[in-house]
Structure 1
């Protein structure tokens, strides 16, 4: 082929006719087509992703506005809690009278609670046991006024619970459950939110973390208690692979990263937040509803022991499947089955009765014994 600089236009046309440049033009056309195809694909994917992101954003906004239109069916009262007429220094007195409850939209033929009556004195430590679906957690939701009963009465300190302001009752109640939430803040702030007025009190937060069992894993983090769980910062890099000494690589590495913690560590943080809340002095009722499902037996035992140690001035109710180590502290054990209270009493009296509680306890003890072997 002649040198391209020495070829005239006529010679170009002649070479094309002869087909000498044909393969090169074909290759160039294929490369251009492939590049155009990639660009088109990227553009379509970008539009699709943007549309999906926009759709999610609109749905989020719709849910926010829809929330404001939800009518609260729980009746709020006008009486303050604690009331001036009755002291609650020992804790909150709780009573259910012939309570029946059905969850909204429930398709089951049986109620979650059926004609439940029980009385819990101020300062008592109560353990509620029973099989899954027996109504244990539902009792907690009724007592903490997350729901009102379908029928029957709920009394707090001798007065119908509906007479009290719900905000006052919630300030006087602490709930530890599996339903927990972590905020896009530092670990210190996540714990400190338990007592907002002292969210900057490092010593109080440190003590709460220790009681909640979170200190051990927090100490292993690079930034300790100042670690952010979910920093609101999107990070990406382009053409920095294999360039650790590049200034932008160093800047990228210095940015906050999302910290992934286990379910058990989350539960320890939530427990620490509850211990922080106890510092307010307002908590008179503590409901502990399976908050340690992701903890090992030793961690759960230590958490429950720490809760028992700070029970002064509080009524405590525990709901847990591993209840054997709690029964010796319990003033009252309530055994549930199919939405009804089938037994109430102390560990000794219920074991002597050899009923539902004795069956559950023996199954648990047998399983523990077999595991230990």
Structure 2
């Protein structure tokens, strides 16, 4: 896709392929192409350039901020100054080389007129061109050497900016598809460079190119001024290059927004057949079921039906473009190519003695004008690219100001730090909630009301998907309710400072994660501020039931559950099964490449859950009085009965007067000790009370309790 098309992708608005008034529909082979109909202003010659200039003007304040930030990096301005000086000198060298070429014409003129060769000037010209080539090579090498530390320093500086921009986002904001798209545009994945450095390089390149063109043009005018038919030959050569450029640079499809799809059932089916026989996951069934003759016959049948319409979209578009390549400009391209030769021939017939000079002039003019034209139009075409780069700089800074969906409160919590030792009270008043992207009638919670007093042990039970985990996520304020109010210690949860609320809460979710860090760091992240000691990590691991299993690992608490860095290697003998203590995956990489093996320890679900539990206990270990509320979402789902029993014993010992809330689909020892049980079904609370109260009520809770108890009778 060309630069102009990439630029158009960033414009605002929507693209609806079904709207025939704004979208043009055409067929290319088996493909349907939908192209945005450009507004009338876009058809005005040069309108896109004005649009690019407008975008560049809007981005200039951000570019200035970027330059100030780069200037604050250690030694960056010094290195950039040297880089700029090299660019300046390198941009003048082509004009110097052109001047020496012009001197060659003088040597030819002298040889024709006086039948002698100025050897001194000839050696001077040869030596000058040699020096120009040598300096060009040295400057190119120096630029490459300078680019490495500049790129590294700038990339490292902005990595902190990127880290901050992403780390500060809350859950609903980060999960938003539009935000994810904005993050991807601002921080291209797997990029070896950075937007800031790429922008600096492009800006310097455009300045040096403009200087190169200006200097070459001035020298070219001086060289051709005294040459017979020199200006005419230059104009004709320039015209030929113009027609050639206009043909080659024809837009791939269009300069606007477009989309392509295929609805051809035969083509779609054939592509599915190709994937079926190519993917290893289907191989066992194909071989065991003897399917390949049938698959082959079906694929052959599809090929016969599709015939000449076959091919992926880009092949079809390329063929379509070739059919439309015969145009007025393309027809004039070849005749204009011959015109300089015709002029030269006529001049040679008229002035036979000037043939050597005319031939040298023709060669110089042809080479110079083609190079000049290519650079000129490349510079003209790059205005769209520089607009894209400057827009990327704007997005780089704007992404740091993405507003979070969860608005921070302004009330410090708790007002009395000693009160947190007695736990926190939780009250839901007519709370309803649906996750972002859900349908209007798809509720995770519907009109839920309950109250948990300070220091109580509450167990929320119910089937999967009943809304148990959602209650804990709302209490942790990962989301705000769609309707209703949540009170913590009698205060609206949305008025409390988020940092204070989360400091007073420790939570383990059912869909817990393990960070690509060591086990030590995975546990320590439960209370990152202040940095916990190793004794604290050991104590948290003991409470979570993970200490014994971690001690058995060769690297102990320094073991990585998932290695965050790939291994790179060249071609290996097939007999090599391990490398650096990790398995080699030959199905992923052949030849030079990287290994995506994480090198981590394979652990069971129960072992992984123990480490997650240890992280949850970490905050209570570091500061006993800072946490007043412990939330556990299915904390024993992956534990065996013995580990579950030990966990609940440790929790009762740790609890003290803290408020504890559990969600679980198991009824057992935990529910018997609960001060409050909330039984949920289909996003609502069906029953509420203690274990004995709910059994006497003989409702749905009692039915499920008896059903589970029968398995042990």
Question: Which interval holds the TM-score relative to the shorter structure?
Answer: 0.7 to 0.9
CA contact (8 A) 1:95 1:119 kept: yes
316-325 or 183-192: bigger deviation: 183-192
Does 2:677 correspond to 1:333? yes
Residue correspondence of structure 1 range 93-112 to structure 2 within 5 A: 93-107=425-439, 109-112=441-444
With normalisation by structure 2, the TM-score equals 0.40
CA distance, structure 2, for counterparts of residue 305 and residue 161 of structure 1: 31
Query: Residues 67, 277 of structure 1: CA spacing in aligned structure 2 closer, same or farther, 3 A cutoff?
Result: farther
Provide the C-alpha distance between the structure 2 equivalents of 1:99 and 1:239, rounded to a whole number of angstroms: 60
Residue number among 567, 581, 593 corresponding to 1:234 in the alignment: 567
Does residue 225 of the first structure (1) align with residue 557 of the second (2)? Answer: yes
1:284 match: 628
- Give 1:241 shift: 7.7
Alignment of 1:64-75 (within 5 A): 71-75=403-407
1:61–1:125: structure 2 CA closer, same or farther, 3 Å change rule?
same
Does the 8 Å contact 2:444/2:683 carry over to 1? yes
Partner of 1:142: 474
Q: Is the 8 A contact 2:445 2:470 kept in 1?
A: yes
One of 700, 703, 707 as aligned partner of 1:356: 700
Q: What is the aligned counterpart of 1:81 among 395, 400, 413?
A: 413
Deviation, structure 1 residue 191: 1.2
CA-to-partner distance for each residue in 1:85-126, whole Å, 9 max, x for gaps?
Answer: 993321011101111222222126352222211111011000
User: CA contact under 8 A between 2:506 and 2:617: conserved in structure 1?
Assistant: no
Determine which of 539, 559, 570 is the counterpart of 1:207. 539
Deviation at 1:327, TM superposition (A): 1.7
Would you say the 8 A contact 1:88–1:122 is kept in 2?
Answer: no
1:177 Cα shift? 1.6
Q: Is the CA contact 1:97–1:116 (under 8 Å) kept in the aligned structure 2?
A: yes
Match of 2:496 among 164, 183, 204: 164
> Are 1:267 and 2:609 an aligned pair?
yes
Cα distance change on mapping 1:309 and 1:241 into 2, 3 Å: same
2:510 counterpart of 1:178: yes
Over 3 Å counting, the alpha-carbon distance change for 1:241 and 1:99 in structure 2 is: closer
- Label 1:262 to 1:204 Cα distance change in 2 as closer, same or farther (>3 A): same
- How far the C-alpha of 1:240 sits from its partner, in A, is 7.1
The worse-fitting range, judged by mean Cα deviation, of 252-261 and 76-85 is 252-261
Q: 1:70 to 1:179 in 2, by over 3 A?
A: farther
More helix by share: 2
- Cα distance in 2 between the residues matched to 1:323 and 1:59: 48
- SS of match in other structure, 1:169: helix
Secondary structure (helix, strand or coil) at the match of 1:216 reads: helix
Report deviation, 1:305: 2.2
State the 1:237 CA deviation.
6.8
- State the partner residue of 2:711: 367
CA distance in 1, matches of 2:620, 2:485: 28
| Structure 2, gaps ≥5 residues long | 1-182, 190-394, 584-597
1:18 alignment counterpart = none
Query: 2: CA distance between counterparts of 1:325 and 1:175?
Result: 21
Aligned to 1:296: 640
Of 187, 190, 196 in structure 2, the residue corresponding to residue 61 of structure 1 is 187
Conserved 8 A contact 1:178-1:292: no
Output the aligned Cα RMSD.
Answer: 3.0
Say if 2:435 is the partner of 1:309.
no
The aligned residue for residue 12 of structure 2 is none
Q: Who is 2:486 aligned against? A: 154
Cα offsets for 1:348-369 (capped at 9, x unmatched): 1110000011011111112344
CA distance in 1, matches of 2:459, 2:186: 40
TM-score by length of 1: 0.74
Decide whether the 8 Å contact of 1:211 with 1:275 is kept in 2. yes
1:321 matched to 2:321 = no
Q: Which residue of 1 aligns with 2:231?
A: none
Give the equivalent residue in structure 2 for 1:192: 524
**Number of residue-to-residue matches in the alignment:** 308
Q: Which shifted more, 225-234 or 273-282?
A: 225-234
Q: How far, CA to CA, are the matches of 1:211 and 1:254 in structure 2? A: 31
Q: After superposition, give the CA deviation of every residue in 1:317-355 in whole Å (9 maximum; x if it has no partner).
A: 111112311122101111112222221111111100000
- Over 3 Å counting, the alpha-carbon distance change for 1:105 and 1:206 in structure 2 is same
Counterpart Cα distance in 1 of 2:712 and 2:399: 46
Evaluate the alpha carbon distance shift between residue 229 and residue 306 of structure 1 in structure 2; reply closer, same or farther with a 3 A threshold. Answer: same
User: Secondary structure of 1:174's match?
Assistant: strand
Q: Structure 1 residues 109 and 253 mapped into 2: Cα distance closer, same or farther (>3 Å)?
A: closer
Output the CA distance in 2 between the equivalents of 1:200 and 1:114.
41
Counterpart mapping for 1:6-45 below 5 A: none
Structure 1 distance, partners of 2:573, 2:482, is: 62
The 1:350–1:67 alpha-carbon spacing in structure 2 relative to 1, beyond 3 Å, is farther
Task: Give the drift of 1:165.
Answer: 0.6
Q: Relative contact order: is structure 1 or structure 2 higher (C-alpha 8 Å, sep ≥ 6)?
A: 1
SS in 2 for 1:87: helix
